A and B are shown apart, each in its own frame.
Chain A
Amino acid sequence: MSKTHKIMLGGMELIPDFSGALYVPDYETLIIADLHLEQGSSLARRGIHVPPYDTAITLKLLEEVVSAANPKRLIFLGDSFHDGEGETRLDDTHLITIRNITSSYETIWICGNHDPEPPQAIGGQGAESLSLGPLTLRHEPSLPSPSSQSGEGGSPQGETGGDLGAESLSSSHPIRRKGAAFPTSWRRREDNFEIAGHLHPGCGLTQRGRRLYGKCFVGDNTRLIMPAFGAYTGGLAITSKAFAGLFNEAETHAWMIGQAAIHRFPLSRVQRRD
């Protein structure tokens, strides 16, 4: 078992798991980003015949992680399927596995860019984004606040920050659908804390001439981006442009998933490119 790390965000304690999942003890909630189920068959449709074993591997790991954490609630942070039709390609045994999970735990599927519609036939409910106490959970990280912009890197391209539509659920419930809270892209981040996925963060460093690379959690004091969970998902270097301007660099850390444990590094240690 790996050393337990604690990530503090908005006064809440978050526990990163070696699998790439994130546990929120205060809410007994397990968060998992970017499952990318049926990625193999999705690529196969385009003639890229990667081994058709990804869904089996991902679900096996998911079952293990979920039963070990035994949370009250499961939140999938989007891109749970590699494409919108992924659900329909699930093999029967996998369908049963997922249904078992969704019937045993309260499950919320946040929509991602790969799977913009919530799944229909596997249980659980869909959402665009969610609030968990002070934390906002969404698939794509929102645009950076002006104060956190630094260096020469511009802001990433993308839609404006707001999640539109859905009305609030019961306010006594810690989880509610997000209203159209942020009509403009420039919003204050200080009183808003975010957990997102989408970017599949990864980082590397060189030690004694050897280059080590792995998926990672990456975050500063206002935002945490989770690694992708899926069997075939890799890690995009957090030094790459997609991450530009997302973090207040001085306060950013990466929790790198090694071969047997999670290791925490200040950004400067894993940042070999600016």
Chain B
Amino acid sequence: MVLRHRSVCVKFQFMSLLPTSFVQWFSERGWQPRTHQLHMLELGLNNENTLLISPTGGGKTLAGFLPTLVELAEPHETSGIHTLYISPLKALAVDIARNLEAPIAEMKLPITVETRTGDTPHSRRQRQRIIPPDILITTPEQVSLLIADPTAAHLLRSLKAVIIDELHSVVSNKRGVLLSLALTRLKSHAPKARFTGLSATVADPDALKQWLSPSTQLVFGNAGAPPKIRILESAERVPWSGHRAVYAIPEIYAEIKKAKMSLIFVNTRSQAEMVFQELWTANEDNLPIALHHGSLDVAQRRKVEAAMADNKIKAVVCTSTLDLGIDWGDVDFVVHVGAPKGSSRLLQRIGRANHRLDESSNAMLVPSNRFEVLECEAARHAAAEGAQDSEYPTVMKLDVLAQHILGCACAAPFDVDQLYTEVTSAFTYRKLSRELFDQTLDYVATGGYALKAYERYAKLKRDSSGKFRLAHPLLAQRYKMNMGTIIGAEMLKLRIAGVRNRLGKRVVTGGRVLGELEEYFLSQLRIGDTFLFSGEVLRFEGLDEFGALATRAPGRDPMIPSYNGGKFPLSTYLAERVRGILADKSKQQFLPHQVQDWLNTQSWASALPRADQMLVETFPRADKHYLVCYPFEGRLAQQTLGMLLTRRLERWGAKPMGFVASEYALVIWSLGDMSAMIASGKLSLAKLFDEDMLGDDLDAWLAESNLMKRTFRNCAIIAGLIERNYPGKQKTARQVTVNTDLIYDALRTHQPDHILLRAAWDDAAEGMIDVHRLGAMLKRIKNQILHKALERVSPLAVPVLLEIGRESIYGDAHDALLAEAADELISEATRLV
């Protein structure tokens, strides 16, 4: 519970709402309730829907619970769940329960608190059904399971309050979409219950309010002191390319030595492993430094969290696993290694050091390459202004709707008209047409095929009263096994192995679980390959029926997992700011000198575009010709652009050979001389970048695209078309279920308007291929292309050229080759004549 020793200007009329036992409890601890906590109490007791927007460390959780605690302070009979508390992090349910139990015990309140997550044993779930607690702390998936249970109506009959924590994070993905549907059910079961959202600061509070309920009242917490953010001014050379930030390790180490406890945020697991290992090598003082990322075994992560809570740790290298959730210990310094990607994301992470709200949190950004310097600079300014660029809530996912419809049928037969009304009462589906709803329902019942072959195998059947009911109880069983919207890469458990020699043979047996790794990554390893995991160098020993086996291989050079970027593309907002920095000399004065030099060289060797322009450079190099453009729209959109431009260039005779997209730039290389083609008018850049590429060219490309197939697979699993594969469970020939790529192909030829293809296209347009963003960009640069035909590679083009071939080489050779290539390119780009 986040309560700080802090006096606030308390509105005394609210104080009267607080029972004496509460007032006493606060004062015994020398605390005072905060204004927004009391405001939330007042609104809660009036049964209003509320949304509290407050930065980390604002005492949000208590603010959310206060009305419930006050209502339940008097002796009462528990007749069902009073308050449902929903947190996106299952790991935190237990911690939140513990934090809540303290004041309940200290005030001797007659309130029972229990948790229910995927890990809750069956026996306790059964007991919760018979003797429900007053407060149930749970996850979005569990809420969906709860409403799919035939006993839901009974369990929820006296529900008074629903609290959703970290709402800003929940609404941004399909989990939120599924939860929004579950909430419509909760509202039907308990029409009088109030809904409370707790959120970090967001770009569009109104959308969040609408998401919760149109009648929601907004409460703002104290904004706290603005953060102090600086960018590491390294004495070392900032690399041109790459994501390793090795150059900065000594300086990061010096900083964390000075701080009490530091969080070192990175963007990916492999970066976390790498930074951790480098820090460990630099760790001459034997500082307790830990590692925390999503692939590590849960028990190991819990250990790190506990050590943080006890302030026994000096620094933790972590990924987004520590973005959310309760505060662990007295973090006073945040280091962000790599690109911040977005202002809101950065503010959220920096807020982790915001232990005392009235003191500034301290943060340092460490760019891992030169473009990231620009991005860090843009993010630093945006964050200092408190500018938010969080995403708009995700809406209208047909695969999620299909899952919800089946869930509803699992609970009880439903009336179609009623369900449609209920579904469209959600913010996320307010624009859902009846036609589309009926199509989704038809999909759930029989697959939604033009060829009506499966009527007799329908999952939903109409009963005599016209209601839809589940055709077989086994389907409910299967729904429980397969529900949820998180489809990870296929993961395999990784265990430490014991090796013995028996009869001259190496016998490998599995031991303790270290964590999970992507099957994709493991499939590329040969026995004997080494890699970094959990801060150790491991030697791959093969697979058994439970997953992967590895032994410790200290002292060896690891083959580092390939960088897996692009999960969070650079936000549109930051991209605009980066373009602004490039265009405006006065904004460049804050940049490190070496980066200023880089940009200066660029401005005479080629050009720096205006903020509304897009620079396109063409130049020959070795035996090929290159075209580099700088849209700054993130890797996904630029990959799509690369794919489409290559097709066009092919058609127009430029003989393109390949392309590589980074977060900032796109390079295409060809056999044809594109500079000459442009000069002679054979190739028109305006036509090349015309928006019409999003028509037929896009369709044609998507037909063969693997990205589309991957997106389709996720939709097919969420929509319940095929079943999930569980990690470690190896398929046998007999069990091979249908590969979704084959289903995709069948649908494309035989029923291109099928609802799942539509859902997949929709997802891809927002995500993997980012068509929306690409479309906006093409519109923006219309008539604004600045072309430079150069004799050689420009300084700005060096980073993206260095990305070429990056993925195919590993280990030391990788770096040696890159260094060699880099030096060649750099001397070429900065040569004077």
A53 at the interface (CB under 8 A from B): yes
- A239-268 residues with Cβ-Cβ distance < 8 A to B are 240-242
Q: Is B678 interfacial (CB-CB < 8 Å)?
A: no
Please report whether the interface of chain A is mostly helix, strand, loop or mixed according to DSSP. loop
Q: Is the C-beta of B743 less than 8 angstroms from some C-beta in chain A?
A: yes
> Given the complex, which residues of B lie within 8 Å of A206, measured CB to CB?
524
Q: Which of A25-70 contact B (CB under 8 A)?
A: 39-41, 43-45, 47-54, 56-57
The answer on a CB contact under 8 Å between B542 and A45 is: no
Q: Is B733 an interface residue (CB 8 A)?
A: yes
Q: Which residue of A lies closest to B750 (CB)?
A: A53
CB 8 Å contact bits of B466-479 with A (1 = contact, 0 = none):
00000110110010
Interface flags, B744-767, vs A, CB<8A=1, else 0: 001101110010000000000000
The answer to whether B545 and A241 have CB atoms under 8 Å apart is yes
Digitize A199-214: 1 where CB-to-B-CB distance is under 8 Å, 0 elsewhere.
1100010111101000
User: Is A236 touching B526 in the complex (CB atoms < 8 A)?
Assistant: no
Query: Does any Cβ of B come within 8 Å of A92's Cβ?
Result: no
Q: Check B722 against A48 for contact (C-beta < 8 Å).
A: yes
Contact of B730 among A39, A152, A241 (CB under 8 A): A241
Docked complex Cα distance between A40 and B446 (Å): 12
Bound: A245/B102 CA distance, A: 60
Across the interface, B454 reaches (CB within 8 A) one of A49, A198, A204, A274, namely A49
Whole-angstrom distance between the alpha carbons of A47 and B522 in the complex? 33
Q: Is A234 an interface residue (CB 8 A)?
A: yes
CA distance A204 to B446 in the complex (A): 35
Whole-angstrom distance between the Cβ of B601 and the nearest chain A Cβ: 31
A contact residues around B447 at 8 Å (CB)? 44, 49-52
B628 to A: closest C-beta gap in Å: 20
| Contact between chains at B732 and A51 (CB < 8 Å) | no
Q: In this complex, what residue of B is CB-closest to A43?
A: B738
Which of A54, A241, A273 counts the most B-chain CB atoms under 10 A from its CB? A273
In the complex, the answer to whether B736 meets A51 with C-beta atoms within 8 Å is: no
Quick check: B523 and A204 within 8 Å, CB to CB?
Answer: yes
Q: Which of B678-737 contact A (CB under 8 A)?
A: 721-723, 730-734, 736-737
A242 touches B733 (CB 8 A): yes
Chain B residue with minimal CB distance to A230?
Answer: B742
The distance in angstroms between the C-alpha atoms of A234 and B733, with both chains bound, is 9
Point out the residues of chain A lying under 8 angstroms from B791, CB to CB. Answer: none
Q: Which of B471, B523, B731, B750 interacts with A51 by CB under 8 Å?
A: B750
Interface residues of A toward B: which range?
35 or more
- Cα of A44 to Cα of B457 in the assembled complex, Å: 6
Q: Which parts of A7-23 form the interface with B (CB within 8 Å)?
A: none
With both chains docked as a complex, state the minimum distance between the C-beta of B735 and any C-beta of chain A, in angstroms. Answer: 10
Contact A52–B449 (Cβ < 8 Å) = yes
- In the complex the two chains form, is B736's CB within 8 Å of A236's CB? yes
Contact of A57 among B472, B732, B746 (CB under 8 A): B746
Which B residues between 370 and 392 are near A, CB-CB below 8 angstroms? none
Q: How far is the CB of B734 from chain A (nearest CB, A)?
A: 7
Cβ of A72 under 8 Å from chain B: no
**A231 sits at the interface (CB 8 A):** yes
Query: A151: shortest Cβ distance to chain B, in Å?
Result: 9
- The distance from the CB of B441 to the nearest CB of chain A, in whole angstroms, is 13
267-304 of chain B: CB within 8 A of chain A: none
Q: How far does the alpha carbon of A252 sit from the alpha carbon of B330 in the complex, in Å? A: 60
Q: Is the CB of B505 within 8 A of A53?
A: no
Contact B520 A47 (CB under 8 A): no
User: 8 Å CB contacts to A: which residues of B655-672?
Assistant: none
**Hey, which chain A residues are within 8 Å of B738, CB to CB?**
39, 43, 48, 50, 232, 234
| Docked pose: A229 CA to B498 CA in angstroms | 42
| In the complex, chain B residues whose CB is within 8 Å of the CB of A6 | none
Residue A113 at the chain B interface, CB threshold 8 Å: yes
In the complex, chain A residues whose CB is within 8 Å of the CB of B472: 47
Q: Which of B505, B523, B738, B747 has the most CB of A within 10 A?
A: B738
Q: What's the least CB distance linking A226 to chain B, in Å? A: 13
Q: Do residues A51 and B449 form an inter-chain contact, with CB atoms below 8 A? A: yes
Contacts of A54 in B (CB 8 A): 746
Do A47 and B457 touch across chains, with their CB atoms under 8 A apart? yes
Find chain B residues with CB under 8 A from A44 CB: 447, 453-454, 457
Confirm or deny: B126 has a beta carbon within 8 angstroms of a beta carbon on chain A.
no
Q: B751 touches which one: A41, A51, A208, A242 (CB < 8 A)?
A: A51
Q: Would A50 and B453 be within 8 Å (CB), given that A200-B736, A234-B738 are in contact? A: no
A236-B746 contact given A47-B471, A52-B449, CB 8 Å threshold:
no
Asked if B501 CB lies within 8 Å of chain A CBs, one says: no
Q: Within A185-241, which residues are at the interface with B (CB < 8 Å)?
A: 198-200, 204, 206-209, 211, 231-234, 236, 240-241
- Tell me whether B523 and A211 are in contact (CB under 8 A): yes
> Is the pair B742, A272 in contact by a Cβ cutoff of 8 Å?
no
Given A47-B459, A206-B524, do A52 and B721 touch, yes or no (CB 8 Å)? no
In the complex, 9 of the A-B residue pairs with CB atoms within 8 angstroms, ordered by the A residue number, are A40-B453, A43-B737, A50-B721, A50-B722, A51-B751, A53-B746, A152-B507, A236-B736, A241-B730
Q: Which residues of B contact A (CB under 8 A)?
A: 446-447, 449, 451, 453-454, 457, 459, 471-472, 474-475, 478, 505-508, 520, 522-527, 542-543, 545, 562, 721-723, 730-734, 736-739, 742-743, 746-747, 749-751, 754, 805-808
